[in-house]
């Protein structure tokens, strides 16, 4: 049973790949700065390594067109966050409703994505009627549920989390109506029922805190070893990977994955996110990027790690803030759907731009900008700036300068410049205005930003640097024609802000 069927996961998609190729060419011809689009999507990068890269999603998120645009293009696999769970699919005994799950499989089909079914047997999000059954009736109810659901999605899901979260933290079996009624046999019974209903689906056991070596993963290892010995149909182990910056990285994740692989099982990272105590700061963001990168590296190093699914890709739809009060910022994209440093860390780890072995140095710095100033005609200019290191090596900030280009619009030629706030500390940020000998369109001056020290680790960002400048006579500017000026109010890559390392341009286009 646990034979090699991995290719269905890691297939590349024909037409989107061709379109991405055309897009790459267009961007190259216009000579813009390197962007994510030039290098293919996360899934394309993963697929080039024989893996998939996926995301959880949920029905309530699908009306959000900006969200689905990224979901449908960047990811090659999706997992329904809720709509295939028992409380949704069989809320009343014997009354099945697959409407919401069908919306998810339809989306996947339209976007050339595979689907992980999640989940058939779980103690949580279980309708109360199951727990109220006499124990003697639970096995029949469970088998019926598994059979109906797995049969319904036959051919539409490539893998099932058949049993979810069977263990307590100490490696003992978790109490549930299933365990109470059948003891640990419920797991083999559920796997056999799923296999009978959909012989082609890859069948997984899935749990959290089994990513590293430890008591809980030892328990999973013992369980799956026994199931395989007994000839129970089982293809893989799902490691949820709900990580947190404050709890450290799982102990020896790669070695742990490898021991399951050595049993002849596939391994999947099924629900990756990396939360932190809010507010976020530069150190937490850097740690988060490191954790995401380390998960990718572990999966790449283990041949039978088939892919990675993030538990939704954006902070906008994260389960974290409501489940872990005070925590958040766990995902690859922020709430406005802009990629965060962790996204670039994942790209780099997948072999994308700036990856190890490609230099990965200062050339991978990028400037992001937002306008903190809705008034383009007043006497101050207020750019918000952040630098992101998308490369594989640290960048020493004392070598870095940044230029924001603007026109003075007459008035005094002397300036005051300010750093109002930054998580890296304004005391480490230098700023001055310089005039151009030969004015350009949209620019006869620039604000130059530098740093007294510090360094930016691979995948790390400075966090925002709130800048401000005015003329000494406080006369007004007309910012609307300024070269570097933009109107976006959230951070986005800014090709008209230029970045230099040791005086050499590394990002952006000068006026």
Annotation says 165 is catalytic = yes
Write phi, then psi, for 399 (nearest 5 degrees): -90, -5
As beta bridge partners, residue 273 has: 242
Cβ closest to ligand XIL, residue 312 vs residue 464: 312
If one asks whether residue 81 binds ligand XIL (CB under 6 A), the answer comes out as yes
Nearer residue to ligand XIL within complex by CB, 86 or 344: 86
Task: Annotate 415-483 with DSSP letters as a single string.
Answer: EEEEEEE-TT-GGGEEEEEEEEEEEETTEEEEEEEEESS-EE-TT-B---EEEEEEETT-----GGG-T
Task: Tell whether residue 444 is a contact of ligand XIL (CB under 6 A).
Answer: no
On whether the CB atoms of residues 304 and 267 are closer than 8 A, the answer is yes
Strand order, beta sheet including 415-421: 415-421, 465-471, 383-389, 365-371, 492-493
Nearest CA-CA partner of 253 in 308, 198, 294: 294
Among 143, 153, 140, residue whose Cα is nearest residue 108? 153
The catalytically annotated residue of 139, 149, 211, 271 is: 271
319 binds ligand XIL (CB under 6 A): yes
Q: State the minimum distance, in angstroms, from the CB of residue 183 to ligand XIL.
A: 23
Least Å from the CB of residue 56 to ligand XIL: 7
Q: Within 230-249, which residues bind ligand XIL (CB under 6 A)?
A: 240
Active-site residue, 271 included: yes
- In this structure, the chain runs to a length of 511
CB of 94 to ligand XIL, least distance (A): 24
CA distance 58 to 111: 15
In the complex, minimum distance from the CB of residue 240 to ligand XIL, in angstroms, rounded to a whole number:
5
* Residues 46/40, Cβ–Cβ less than 8 Å: no
Nearer to ligand XIL, 60 or 410 (CB): 60
The footprint of ligand XIL on residues 180-239 (CB under 6 A) is none
503: left (phi over 0), alpha (psi -120 to 50) or beta: left
From 74, 165, 211, 464, active-site residue: 165
Report the phi/psi class of residue 474: left, alpha or beta, with left for phi > 0 and alpha for psi in -120 to 50: left
Q: Which is nearer to ligand XIL, 47 or 234 (CB)?
A: 234
Among 10, 39, 82, 209, binds ligand XIL (CB under 6 A): 82
43, 74 contact by CB (below 8 A): yes
Which residues from 119-158 bind ligand XIL, rule CB under 6 A? Answer: none
Nearer to ligand XIL, 16 or 81 (CB): 81
Among 105, 164, 256, 309, binds ligand XIL (CB under 6 A): 164
Q: Is 86 in the site for ligand XIL (CB under 6 A)?
A: no
- The string of DSSP codes covering 179-239 is HHHHTTHHHHHHHHHHHHH-TTSEEEEEESS-SSSSHHHHHHHHHHHHHHHTT----EEEE
Question: Quick one: 164 or 289, whose CB is closer to ligand XIL?
Answer: 164
Q: Which of residues 257-276 bind ligand XIL (CB under 6 A)?
A: 271
80 binds ligand XIL (CB under 6 A): no
Q: Which residues bind ligand XIL (CB under 6 A)?
A: 81-82, 164, 240, 271, 319
User: Which active-site residues does the annotation give?
Assistant: 165, 271
């Amino acid at each position: 049973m646990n034979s090699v069927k991995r290719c269905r996961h890691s297939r590349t998609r024909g037409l989107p790949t061709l379109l991405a190729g055309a897009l790459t060419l267009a961007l190259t011809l216009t000579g813009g700065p390197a962007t994510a689009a030039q290098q293919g999507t996360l899934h394309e990068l993963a697929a080039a390594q024989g893996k998939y890269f996926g995301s959880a999603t949920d029905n309530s998120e699908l009306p959000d067109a900006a969200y689905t645009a990224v979901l449908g293009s960047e990811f090659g696999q999706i997992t329904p966050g809720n709509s295939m769970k028992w409380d949704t699919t069989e809320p009343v005994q014997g009354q099945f409703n697959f409407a919401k799950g069908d919306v998810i499989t339809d989306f996947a089909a339209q976007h050339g994505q595979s689907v992980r079914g999640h989940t058939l047997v779980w103690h949580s999000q279980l309708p109360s009627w199951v727990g109220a059954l006499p124990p003697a009736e639970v096995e029949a109810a469970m088998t019926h549920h598994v059979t109906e659901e797995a049969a319904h999605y036959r051919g539409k899901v490539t893998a099932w989390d058949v049993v979810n979260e069977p263990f307590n933290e100490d490696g003992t079996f978790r109490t549930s109506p299933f365990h109470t009624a059948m003891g640990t046999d419920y797991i083999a019974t559920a796997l056999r029922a799923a296999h009978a209903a959909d012989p082609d689906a890859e069948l997984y056991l899935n749990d959290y805190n089994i990513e590293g070596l430890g008591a809980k993963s030892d328990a999973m290892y013992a369980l799956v070893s026994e199931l395989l010995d007994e000839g129970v149909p089982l293809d893989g182990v799902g490691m949820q990977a709900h990580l947190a910056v404050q709890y450290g990285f799982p102990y020896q994740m790669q070695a742990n994955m490898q021991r399951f692989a050595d049993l002849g099982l596939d391994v999947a990272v099924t629900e990756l996110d990396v939360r932190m105590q809010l507010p976020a700061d530069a150190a937490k963001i850097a740690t988060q990027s490191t954790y995401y990168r380390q998960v990718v590296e572990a999966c790449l190093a283990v041949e039978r790690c088939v892919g990675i699914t993030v538990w939704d890709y954006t902070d906008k739809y994260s389960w974290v803030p409501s489940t872990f009060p005070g925590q958040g910022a766990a995902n690859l994209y922020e709430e406005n759907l802009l990629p965060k440093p962790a996204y670039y860390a994942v790209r780099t780890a997948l072999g994308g731009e700036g990856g190890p072995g490609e230099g990965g140095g200062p050339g991978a710095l990028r400037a992001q900008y937002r306008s903190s100033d809705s008034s383009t005609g007043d006497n101050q200019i207020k750019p918000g700036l952040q630098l992101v290191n998308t490369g594989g090596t640290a960048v020493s900030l004392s070598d870095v300068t940044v230029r924001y280009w603007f026109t003075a619009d007459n008035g005094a030629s002397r300036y005051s410049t300010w750093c109002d706030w930054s998580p890296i500390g304004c005391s480490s940020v230098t700023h001055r205005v310089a005039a151009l000998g030969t004015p350009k369109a949209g620019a006869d001056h620039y604000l130059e930003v530098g740093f007294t020290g510090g360094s930016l680790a691979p995948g790390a960002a400075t966090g925002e640097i709130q800048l401000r400048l005015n003329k000494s006579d406080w006369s007004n500017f007309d910012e609307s024609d300024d070269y570097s000026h933009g109107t976006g109010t959230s951070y986005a890559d800014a090709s008209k802000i230029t970045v230099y390392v040791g005086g050499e341009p590394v990002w952006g286009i000068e006026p």
